[in-house]
Amino acid sequence: MVCRICNTKGVHWTAKCPDRYLAHHTDDPRANEGAYVPPSMRRGAERPGGSDMRRRSDDYSVRVTNLSEDTREPDLLELFQTFGHVIRAYVAIDQKTGMSRGFGFVNFVNREDAERAINKLNGYGYDNLILRVEWATPRSN
């Protein structure tokens, strides 16, 4: 075994390294090779102020209702990604039963893709139900 911090062989584990608090992290990816970097600190992370992971962007967000209780996020993603690049697909899940609550949200990169999805999928039969697809209304704070 080799310590990933001080590169000594067979003396101690990385977690027990006496130099673990002295190691400084740089932007050079080779300097911290193998070291864990939290997602919020990774290059290109856009989460100022510790934003909530469950928050949705209202810009190009589409609300989908009348989903069956078996619908999951990969199903929604597969249905909507044919219209353009999907940032996120979310299906509301009941905490007690683990089943879909019948609605979800899909966030698109482009407004045109979202409009095309609304026009094509509103009234579309999916999983023996007729979907209702519309612009998501912004949350009131």
| pLDDT top residue among 12 and 70 | 70
For the chain, which residues make up each domain, given as ranges? 1-51, 61-135
Query: Are residues 106 and 61 in contact, defined by beta-carbon separation less than 8 angstroms?
Result: yes
- The rounded distance, in Å, linking the Cα atoms of 105 and 123 is 16
- Mean predicted lDDT score pLDDT of the chain: 79
Residues shown for the chain: 141
- The rounded distance, in Å, linking the Cα atoms of 66 and 68 is 6
CATH architecture of 61-135: 2-Layer Sandwich (3.30)
> In this model, does residue 89 exceed pLDDT 70?
yes
- The rounded distance, in Å, linking the Cα atoms of 27 and 45 is 13
- The rounded distance, in Å, linking the Cα atoms of 128 and 20 is 57
- What confidence score (pLDDT) does residue 4 get? 73
Angle 73-45-91 (CA atoms, 0-180°, nearest 5)? 15
Query: Are residues 53 and 45 in contact, defined by beta-carbon separation less than 8 angstroms?
Result: no
Answering whether pTM is above 0.95, one says no
